[in-house]
């Protein structure tokens, strides 16, 4: 199941080049699509990482080569940095507080994970199509789920089910030591590889396979996050959590809710139901 070619012993530092290209593509619609209030909120919330800059939050967390620092090297990337800050301000308004998660959201250039025709919508709080009837998750829900998963403590090894375009894996890479992500659609697995490659993120491993089975060869995980909704959480995943580990997943058919499951002992899990959500379905097998 492991795809050796999908490893990224590379660094995030080269992100600026592609980012700059993406900016010139998307910047013309920036002013028409971003609500002015969002930009005002961004300015108002300039100190949203507890008075520290994003770069300093990330560097305090041991994250080096944040694209934020490099984006300050030219005017165009700064436009995207400002828009991302506005997006983060809206996510904060919706209740996300974890400064490391917010900093990660601000650092990852979401527009680089979606096709160029939609890049101008990259920083609105919406899910967007990525092909094959799948979507990139809304920034709010990405942040919220990671915040919930992280509130169990420091994250070492994390498993994501549903790589899609790779955006959430990139965000996770800034808050966890090692990120493993599984995608069942080969074309999306390839897309994520292509999207992530120029970012040179060293701690992401992409796998093509059925995420419902987890990754027993790598388990246990401190955190497991599902980006697709099943009627229930697969038992195999529960068994791949460390004791004290947390799994967060959308669950349900028509009406979905976020479910948090904590493993409290070898044979004991504690479950709680959180807010409503809307995700693409979790499916068995590979295509």
| Torsion region of 3: left, alpha or beta (phi above 0 gives left; psi -120 to 50 gives alpha) | beta
State the burial class of residue 230 (Cβ atoms within 10 Å of its Cβ: 0-12, 13-18, 19+): buried
Q: Is 280 in the site for ligand SAH (CB under 6 A)?
A: yes
Size of the site for ligand SAH (CB under 6 A): 24
Which residues in 107-136 contact ligand SAH (CB under 6 A)? 134-136
Is 99 tagged catalytic?
Answer: no
Q: Is 223 in the site for ligand SAH (CB under 6 A)?
A: no
Q: Is 182 in the site for ligand SAH (CB under 6 A)?
A: yes
Strands (E), 59-133: 128-131
**Distance of alpha carbon 33 from alpha carbon 36, whole angstroms:** 9
Least distance (Å) between residue 256 CB and ligand SAH? 13
Least distance (Å) between residue 113 CB and ligand SAH? 7
Residue 117 or 285: the one with the smaller Cβ distance to ligand SAH is 285
Instruction: Name the 3-class secondary structure at 218.
Output: coil
Structure tokens at 215: 């990754």
Contact in structure between 227 and 168 (CB atoms under 8 Å) = yes
Q: Is 164 in the site for ligand SAH (CB under 6 A)?
A: yes
The H or E element spanning position 93 is: helix 75-93
Q: Is 162 in the site for ligand SAH (CB under 6 A)?
A: yes
210, 214, 256, 263: which one contacts ligand SAH (CB under 6 A)?
210
Residue 122 or 241: the one with the smaller Cβ distance to ligand SAH is 122
Structure tokens at 68: 């934020």
Q: Is 137 in the site for ligand SAH (CB under 6 A)?
A: yes
Residue 166 or 245: the one with the smaller Cβ distance to ligand SAH is 166
Q: Is 184 in the site for ligand SAH (CB under 6 A)?
A: yes
Residue 77 or 230: the one with the smaller Cβ distance to ligand SAH is 230
**Distance of alpha carbon 172 from alpha carbon 188, whole angstroms:** 18
Structure tokens at 63: 């994250």
Contact in structure between 130 and 191 (CB atoms under 8 Å) = yes
Which DSSP category does 201 fall into?
Answer: -
Single out the catalytic residue among 80, 120, 137, 173. 137
Active site residues: 137
Residues that bind ligand SAH (CB under 6 A): 134-137, 161-165, 167-168, 182-185, 188, 210-212, 227-228, 280, 282-283
């Amino acid at each position: 199941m492991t795809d050796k070619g999908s490893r990224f012993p590379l660094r995030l530092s080269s992100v600026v080049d592609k980012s700059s290209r993406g900016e010139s593509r998307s910047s013309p619609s920036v002013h028409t699509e971003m609500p002015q209030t969002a930009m005002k909120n961004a300015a108002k919330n300039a100190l949203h990482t507890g008075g520290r800059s994003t770069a300093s939050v990330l560097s305090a967390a041991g994250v080096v080569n944040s694209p934020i620092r490099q984006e300050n090297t030219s005017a165009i990337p700064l436009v995207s940095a400002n828009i991302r800050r506005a997006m983060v301000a809206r996510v904060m308004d919706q209740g996300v507080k974890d400064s490391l998660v917010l900093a990660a959201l601000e650092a990852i250039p979401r527009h680089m994970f979606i096709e160029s025709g939609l890049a101008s919508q990259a920083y609105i709080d919406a899910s967007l199509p990525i092909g094959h009837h799948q979507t990139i998750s809304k920034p709010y829900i990405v942040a919220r789920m990671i915040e919930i998963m992280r509130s169990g403590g420091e994250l070492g090894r994390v498993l994501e089910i549903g790589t899609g375009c790779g955006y959430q894996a990139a965000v996770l890479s800034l808050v966890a030591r090692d990120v493993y992500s599984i995608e069942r659609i080969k074309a999306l697995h390839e897309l994520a590889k292509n999207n992530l490659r120029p970012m040179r993120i060293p701690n992401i491993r992409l796998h093509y396979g059925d995420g419902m089975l987890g990754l027993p060869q790598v388990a246990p995980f401190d955190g497991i996050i599902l980006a697709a909704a099943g009627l229930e959480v697969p038992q195999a995943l529960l068994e791949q959590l460390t004791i004290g580990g947390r799994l967060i997943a959308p669950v349900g058919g028509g009406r979905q809710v976020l479910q948090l499951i904590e493993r409290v002992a070898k044979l004991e899990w504690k479950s709680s139901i959180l807010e409503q959500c809307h995700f693409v379905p979790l499916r068995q097998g590979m295509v």
